[in-house]
Amino acid sequence: MTRTLTIVALAVLCPATGRATVLFENSGVKAGWSSLGIQHMGKIDEVAEPTFDGPRALRMEQTFEGFSGYHSEVRLHEAQGPMGSDVYYGMTLYLPPNWKFHGQNVTFQQWARGDEFGSPWVLMYVENDEIRTGGSGGIRGVMAKITNMQGRWIRVVTHIRHHSTDGVFEVWVDGVKGFTFNGRVSPAPAAPIRWSAGMYCTRWREEQPAGLNPMVLFQDHYRVATTYAEAEPMSWKGGTGPSPMDAGANTGVDAGAAADSGPPAPLDTAPAGGADASTPSGPDASAPRPADARPRTPDPVEEPEEPVSPPRQKADGGCQVAGANAVGAPSILLAALLTLAARRRRR
């Protein structure tokens, strides 16, 4: 009953528009997220360049100051509902031209239970010249090779069907599907899912930095939507973006023993700031790739996220609707309903 009333309140505050399938949108600003998480020498800044396609993007930075946890993240506390919810997460990632590929994972987005601030359940990260996933959810594999893709924007769309037995976790990189997992895709059946994006230098808990220090990356064009077409960052330009492709995706394979290490080079050009994205130098799709012979590295450390007071600014670029972050009046309504229910139980 409480959940239904909250959704009704959200619908009243954010009436449906022609873009009804977009549940959350942020065009590279700090406003509009449920909360920000920054630890140690972390920074989150809005910058004018590079940007994917617009005036702003988010710049995340971390500077090593001793073994510990390092977070610079934006968070959407209830990005997806409990069992049965089915959404797509779109975002863009930019590794600076001087980025050094190395064996320490740098997580750039992750998912966790939305009803508590505990450890993440699935992490997506750059390790060596690959995008991978890992974590306690058991969803491990290689999403894509990103060799020589520093200095250009990389589009990532992730599909999560939340289910304890019939779930789906799929990933497209630059419009090409590189990974599919079917089975248990759930941090907890009755809990919503929290989405966090930014930068986590998790190996810095026990290792000296192997890559940049300060570590820097950029992100832009975040969306949560009910279809791939709306989540695809290229769709922001007014169309539906390129059609998704399947590159013989990895299917729930271990990241250290994947026979197909990733999709072919991007087939379309993404807009970029500070670099020419029309001439990507990714792997050659026509060349056969040997199996990954490197020893499997341990799963990245799963670090709890510390709760902070949410910012009060309105979301940038549109209205948040049912299923996305509920702040402001809907949250007040929810709190009032919960208080009323508690009083009735005491009687």
What distances in angstroms separate CA 225 from CA 16, 95, 114, 116, 229, one per listed residue? 14, 25, 17, 23, 9
334 phi/psi in degrees, rounded to 5: -60, -45
Classify each residue of 31-68 as buried b or exposed e, where b means 16 or more C-beta atoms within 10 Å of its C-beta. ebbbbbbbbbebebeebeebbbbbebbbbbbbbbeeee
pLDDT in tens, 49-78: 999 999 999 999 988 887 766 678 999 999
Instruction: Tell me the pairing of strands 86-94 and 71-80.
Output: unpaired
**Which domains, and CATH codes, for the chain?**
22-305 (2.60.120.200)
Reported as a single tens digit per residue, the pLDDT across 33-53 is: 999 877 677 889 999 999 999
3-state secondary structure of 8: helix
In the three-class reduction of DSSP (H, G, I as helix; E, B as strand; rest coil), residue 173 is classed as strand
Q: What is the pLDDT of residues 227-240, one digit of tens each?
A: 999 999 999 865 44
pLDDT score at 114:
92
Q: What is the CA radius of gyration of the chain?
A: 20
The residue ranges of the chain whose pLDDT is under 70 are 1-20, 39, 68-70, 203-204, 237-347
| 148-182 pLDDT per residue, tens | 999 999 999 999 999 999 999 999 999 999 999 99
